Each structure stands twice: as structure tokens, then as C-alpha cells.
Amino acid sequence: MTIKIGNAPCSWGIEFASDPAYPAWTSVLDQCAAAGYKGIELGPIGYMPEDPEVLAPALAERDLAIIGGVVFRPFHDAAKWDEVLDASHRTCKALKAHGAQHLVLIDSISPRRAPTAGRFSEAEQMDKAEWTSFRDRLAMIAKIGTEEYGLTVGIHAHAAGFMDFEPELERLLAEVDEKILKICFDTGHHSYAGYDPVAFMKRNIDRISYMHFKDINPVVKADVVENRTDFYKACGQGIFCNLGQGDVDFSAVRKILLDHGFEGWCTVEQDCDPALPGTPLEDARANREYLQSIGF
């Protein structure tokens, strides 16, 4: 088994292309390398330079590779299709320029779903027509990424979007061809949604092409679900704790990957609020050391 461990800009609070509170992209690269990682995700398109002649030397100086990139956009909103399509093509072009493999699709947070993160029984559901259009938009970007750019495309469930809960994820997987759409499995978001990530992995390991390692503080999770706390406020409250300190069984995750012969990248993602005091470098280093301690 050859598993490589990377990190992502969201571990430094980077969720969008720009924000005054964000650290410089060069600082994120410096800290990622200093913490012991050999790869990093692209982050939201526009955060890191899109010109490979600028970004590639900076990566090489730090012995880092680009692993993949995320299209975190409102797939649920037909009126935003031009925005989704633009971000998807730009991300695909950047990934291909750096020889990266993984395109990750995430439906961004919807005001209709934000209050019911972690509460499937209460969450608003799309009607048949809305679901069909939503599914087809995801499938179209998956096809573009796979067939036009030669990438491996994975769907990623995310709290407070319309692709959040296990039944929604399983429905999408049943309706979209596996040849164009795999799973980018995020252990933390699956727990946030109220499900067992290890059990899901056992059932779906053959379709998982890429992993996001995230842990959940169960005390904070119970509080934010009970109080319908905004996702980004939950991040500020520390819902995503250091790996090994939450409710995800990473030793069991490792065993499933090992038994299946999984190869490639697994990326640490510890979403945080960049406007609050924090220690992303120390957390990144601690997460790498924890994973090494259990055999990654």
C-alpha cells in the first residue's frame, strides 16, 4: 500500500478566493511543507496563482505537489450555473497544468439547508424536478472533468448543502455512472451529518478514489446540531478538532484502506475560521505526527 498524506488550504481557513483575514498563499505553502507534508490541494480557484509559471516554481522550492482541487459552488442553484461552469473549467485547467489527479465536487452551503445540518429528518428535500436538474449539473461537471481533462472526479458530501446526508449521497451514486463519478470521502462531514464513516467506507470502498481526513469533536457537534449553529461559526467553535481527538476511528479507516489496497493521496482537512486566533501550523504538524503514529 502506497498512501501519501497531504493537506489543504482550508486547514488555514481558506474557503474562498480571497478574504482580508487570509494568510498569503506563499505562507500556506511554507507552513504545509514545514509540517511535513509533500502535497497540498489547490484550494478555491483564484486563491493560488492560476499561472503555472508562477505556482510551479513555488511548489518545487518547497518539494510540494498539487494533489487536487475543489469546486465548492452552488450546484443546487440553476441560476448560478455560469459561475459553477467557470470555476470548474478553471480548476480543471489548473489541475492538469500541475499533473494533479483529483477534481472534487461539493455543493456549497444553502440557506435552505444551513439550519438543519446534522438533522436529516428535518432537512428540506428537493422535489423530483429540482433533484433531477441538480444531479444532472453534477454529472455534467463530472463528465467534463473526466472526459475533457482526464481527471478523477469525486463527489464530496458537505454539511449544510444539498449533498449532505448519506441517503442523498447514495442516491446520487446510484444515478450517475461510476465511470465519471467516484467518491471523495470526508470522514468528518460524514460524522457531522450523523452517520458512521467507517461503516460507509466498508460498503463503498470500491468507489472511493480519494480521502479527506477530518475529525469531529463530539461535544461541539452535539451543541451545534442542537442549536442549529451556522457552519462557519461551528468551525470557529472547533467542531473540527485535531485528528485522533474526535469521534472518527482512524485506525479502522486505515485498516479498510489497507485491506483494499488503496493507493494515492489522503488529504488532511481541518477547517478553521481565519478571523480567529489559531495555530494552523501546529495543528498541521500534530495531525501529521498522529497519522504517522498509527501507520500512515
State residue 199's pLDDT score: 98
pTM of model > 0.85: yes
Cell of 283: 495543528
CA distances from 88 to 144, 153, 230 (A): 9, 11, 26
State mean pLDDT over 43-57: 98
Checking if the pLDDT of 30 tops 80, the result is yes
CA distance 189 to 164: 8
State residue 244's pLDDT score: 98
Each residue of 110-150: pLDDT tens digit? 999 998 999 999 999 999 999 999 999 999 999 999 999 99
State residue 118's pLDDT score: 93
- pLDDT band at 36; cut points 50, 70, 90: very high
State residue 1's pLDDT score: 54
CA distances from 82 to 74, 89, 141 (A): 11, 11, 12
Rounded to the nearest 5°, which phi and psi values hold at 104? -115, 130
Single-letter residue type at 191: S
State residue 233's pLDDT score: 86
State residue 59's pLDDT score: 98
State mean pLDDT over 272-284: 83
State residue 296's pLDDT score: 96
* Domains recognised in the chain with CATH numbers: 3-293 (3.20.20.150)
Q: Which of 110, 170, 106 is nearest to 141 (CA)?
A: 106
Give the bridge partners for 5, in sequence order. 266
Selected residue with higher pLDDT from 237 and 143: 143
Please, are residues 171 and 128 in contact by the beta-carbon 8 Å criterion? no
State mean pLDDT over 155-169: 97
Indicate the average pLDDT of the chain.
96
Checking if the pLDDT of 77 tops 70, the result is yes
State residue 62's pLDDT score: 98
CA distance 151 to 184: 13
State residue 278's pLDDT score: 73
Q: Which of 106, 95, 266 is nearest to 172 (CA)?
A: 106
